[in-house]
Structure 1
Amino acid sequence: MKSTITVNKEVKELLERKKKELEIKLNKPLSWDDFFKYIFTEREEKVPKLSNEEAEILKRIVEEDRKNWRTREFA
């Protein structure tokens, strides 16, 4: 399946620049499909996966740290 999307000139230039940077980094030419697959796969892998229990622990730690930070800020 082939499709076309319309983007303004600045976005097109940015995409072309980023594609070129990635090609240099990987040392190989990329199709636009490969470029977008790489970008989206890379981002998904960087998103941390936490269990509900881990998320709650992290939330409590951040809340406690914020309380301490406020205390330090005004002390």
Structure 2
Amino acid sequence: MKSTITVSKKVKEVLERKKKEMEIKLNKPLSWDEFFQNIFREEEERIPKLTEEEAEILKDLTKEDRKNWRIREFV
């Protein structure tokens, strides 16, 4: 499937510059699909991942801490 999106000239210039930087970094030419796949993969890798056990511990700590919250009254 092929599609076209319209972007401003400024955005297009930024994308082209970033694509060129990535091509230099990887030392190979990239299609636009490869460029965007790399961008999204890098973004995914920056998101911290928790194990189920770690997530449960954080959830329990949050629940316990909320019990200690106080309502602040402003005068």
Note whether the superposition's TM-score is higher than 0.5: yes
Aligned pairs (5 A) from 1:1-75? 1-50=1-50, 51-53=54-56, 56=58
Which segments of 5 or more consecutive residues in structure 1 lack a partner in the other structure? 61-75
- Write the letter of the residue equivalent to 2:55: N
**TM-aligned CA deviation for residue 46 of structure 1:** 1.6
Aligned mates of 1:24, 1:6 — CA distance in 2: 26
Secondary structure (helix, strand or coil) at the match of 1:29 reads coil
- Write the letter of the residue equivalent to 1:46: R
**TM-aligned CA deviation for residue 13 of structure 1:** 0.2
| Alignment RMSD (CA, Å) | 2.0
Secondary structure (helix, strand or coil) at the match of 1:5 reads coil
Which segments of 5 or more consecutive residues in structure 2 lack a partner in the other structure? 63-75
TM-score normalised by the chain length of structure 2: 0.69
Report how many aligned residue pairs link the two structures. 59
TM-score normalised by the chain length of structure 1: 0.69
**TM-aligned CA deviation for residue 53 of structure 1:** 4.0
Percent identity over the alignment is: 69
**TM-aligned CA deviation for residue 43 of structure 1:** 0.9
Give the helix-richer structure, 1 or 2: 1
**TM-aligned CA deviation for residue 27 of structure 1:** 0.3
**TM-aligned CA deviation for residue 48 of structure 1:** 0.4
Which structure has the bigger radius of gyration? 2
